[in-house]
A and B are shown apart, each in its own frame.
Chain A
């Protein structure tokens, strides 16, 4: 449990970017829902932590935001992926796939492979 926040910081940002990439502009609740749906318990509680993260991503220029109307016609802040964010997502996806592949290979190791 103790390591969860550390992992969360890095992975949550990546999940947000990926979500916005797939479903297009979305408000905070929408993003939280999708992340919860896909990741299970990662964002089942403390969904509020998403908002500082969104602000950070916005400061970094990966996403942009503007006010718009939500499904029930209320004012909501909609976030969308910028070009820089897309590039960042691609780069990080590559990195993740690489490290995941390496780790996967290690997990498959059997004693006889190393002899």
Chain B
């Protein structure tokens, strides 16, 4: 308490600059006067009385100093003084200050930019209350190597009653036709169990969400809409509650509007932008009967009981699974070894991006390190220039600790100014930078340059300043006094130590740059390989336009219930669109047939029940299944390997047929000929489907994956609702959506036509995150190379400067100028070689850590390593050439005279 009071008083005195010196002078004068009087009374002579009084008082100056120290805060005063001095020093060498501050601004700015992305995506919890309680649940059948096999309604009930979760919800994701307004619209839509919002802990801004205890088996005909949809389609109508909406021909009532800030959870951006939620129990039409072996490929999200860790919950879940396995041996055969696993929800949201972000942070960390090393190097270079100043101050009695503190204040100021400048640039350029980030990055909208990010920038620059300012300050403060004063620091012991430190710094700089260059080189090669990969299909001049048919809850209300009914529409749409300007070919397929265009493949795979292999559907592997019209393969240029493709004569009343790709043939009929083999795809229908053709593998699923098993069915035999119309030819992408819309709606006016895109843009979108991280790392690597070049240039210049006298003597004694050049270059080369050697080791470690991000190139790729090392050496040599030439052209006479 008393200490605090004293501190506050001193702080106020310090801040207001109040002095007590005059008061002390007055008091001492009075003190002396009284003492002199006393001494006179004791019989001393006046001079003697004054002398004794002064002796008794003690030395006046130390008293004044300690009185002053008590009045104010000496530490703060020194700091202020040091700062003022540091500002003056920086102002005196603006070139040095500018380069150092700009270098640090670059390092800190880049690091802060990446940090702000990481802050929003990885560090910030999900935007729901108590986000750590949220989990995602997946069913596995490791016995038949099937993962994410989906969950059945009885299993959901078991989990809900297990006592592990507060709420456990399942949900689908897709879209729905909203009709009734001017233009039918396709809206991102989630059928969810009514406790979905209770799991997330989200409430409506208007009305309510679903009753979490609602147990309607099918759709309860209530919908909740997003703020965006409310404003866009309904003009923010305050009386929206209770309004009827027609969704896929069924009538629902709006019960609530979510707040503007609410974002759904999910794996894809589309899913997180869901605008419409409908409550359903998934146990009645259109869902299959709620049987234990009817696994629904749906998303799961649950909220753990408070205080339960994921590990503890997983243990209890394992116990539940083993008791269920015993209870229902029919449904959970031992060889399938069914199990259920929990994952933090935050992981599913950012999972795919984590590795890329960590790579970027690592890369930017290296850039920061290199910038720091460069500035430390500059500080060391200044040490030799300021050697005399430091020596004079020491000779005048400056304590070493005091000197160290002052030098450290200078470098801290430098680093801090750099950090603030970097943050300022980042803040001003944030709009522009955000546009560079690919849209597929999760939680892009949450990225902001906020106070937390500012604090990070300040902390990063202070830490850098402390670490990289301390060593130069330390070395500067331990000069050999006499030697320095006598010969201005040249050739003194401290200087040798400094030049060794500079070499170490430059070598580490080169090594860091090499690591970055290798990373960038490997990423570039991966990207290039992906870009140049043989697709197996031809995306040129192909456009896909989506039109989805309604799926009413009551199958009887569906105008396209059977394949025959739908075939009429499909033929008419194909025929009409073929007449559009520029269109040469048309085809139709479901969303799974859209190459690289669907990010939710896990939810759309069907079980593959092979005749003679599986007896029960829940042991069957799953396979990606596309439903296409016969023209699809020709339009996309996919080649038939054996057998035949679909024809217009394969109809609902002719035998059901399928086409598979070579990967499916290899995977599921490893030692047999799959031609003519029979499969069953729907456990509820007894019909067999025969395989009639095998097509060559194409990278329709993922560019990085050559052979994902694929199965194709004919749309004239298997109706599909999620349709994409493919158009090929020299078409006008701007005009085509409206043209296709009018053609489709002249067949059925209730169908929405939306999301027209060229396959080329789908292709480049699928590479966007890879391209982003490659471009950023390449940018960082280029920066690193530049900084390393500057570093080596500075060091060699310094070395040449130090050796001026030696070189001049050599020249005077008749050394060849070529020899001098060689001597200097050899020093640069030896630095580069050491740096590259160390760097190669670091790069090998880094490249193995990032192996998961590479495609088609080994982490030990020799050409990349060799090329990068060559590049670095070239830059180092080029940077040493300038000072080397200067050394070579030295005039020995002038130099020796001036020394």
Contacts and interface: CB of A to CB of B under 8 A. Distances in A.
Interface in A26-76: 27-29, 32, 44-49, 51-52, 55-56, 59-62, 70-72, 74-76
B27 A59 contact: no
Nearest 9 CB-CB pairings of A with B:
A46-B58, A48-B63, A59-B6, A48-B58, A29-B34, A60-B2, A52-B66, A52-B67, A59-B9
B31 interface: yes
B70 A75 contact: no
B897 interface: no
Interface in B798-853: none
A5 B126 CA distance: 61
B33 interface: yes
12 contacts: A29-B30, A32-B31, A45-B56, A45-B58, A46-B58, A47-B56, A48-B59, A49-B58, A51-B63, A55-B67, A59-B6, A60-B5
Given A44-B56, A74-B33, 6 more contacts: A45-B55, A47-B56, A51-B63, A52-B66, A76-B27, A76-B30
Interface string B40-78: 000000000000000111111001001101110000000
Interface of B: 2-3, 5-6, 9-10, 20, 23-24, 26-28, 30-31, 33-35, 37, 55-60, 63, 66-67, 69-71
Interface string A86-98: 0010000000000
B55 A56 contact: no
Contacts of A18: none
A49 B34 contact: no
A60 B6 contact: yes
Given A59-B70, A70-B34, A72-B37, A48 B2 contact: no
Contacts of A46: 57-58
Contacts of A44: 56
A31 to B, nearest CB: 10
A72 B32 CA distance: 13
B6 A56 contact: yes
A77 B66 contact: no
A77 B23 contact: yes
Contacts of A60: 2-3, 5-6
B30 A47 contact: no
B58 A51 contact: no
B9 A77 contact: no
Contacts of B31: 28-29, 32, 47-48
Nearest to A88: B2
A55 B9 CA distance: 11
B298 to A, nearest CB: 70
B2 A61 contact: yes
A51 B30 contact: no
A18 B55 CA distance: 26
Given A45-B56, A56-B70, A28 B27 contact: yes
Contacts of B28: 48, 51
Between B3, B20, B56, B69, the greatest number of chain A beta carbons within 10 A of the residue's beta carbon is seen for B56
A56 B2 CA distance: 10
Nearest to B34: A29
Given A55-B70, A55-B71, A77 B63 contact: no
A71 B37 CA distance: 11
A52 B63 contact: yes
Nearest to B35: A29
Nearest to B3: A60
A57 B5 CA distance: 11
Q: Which of A45, A59, A72, A74 has the most CB of B within 10 A?
A: A59
Contacts of A71: 34
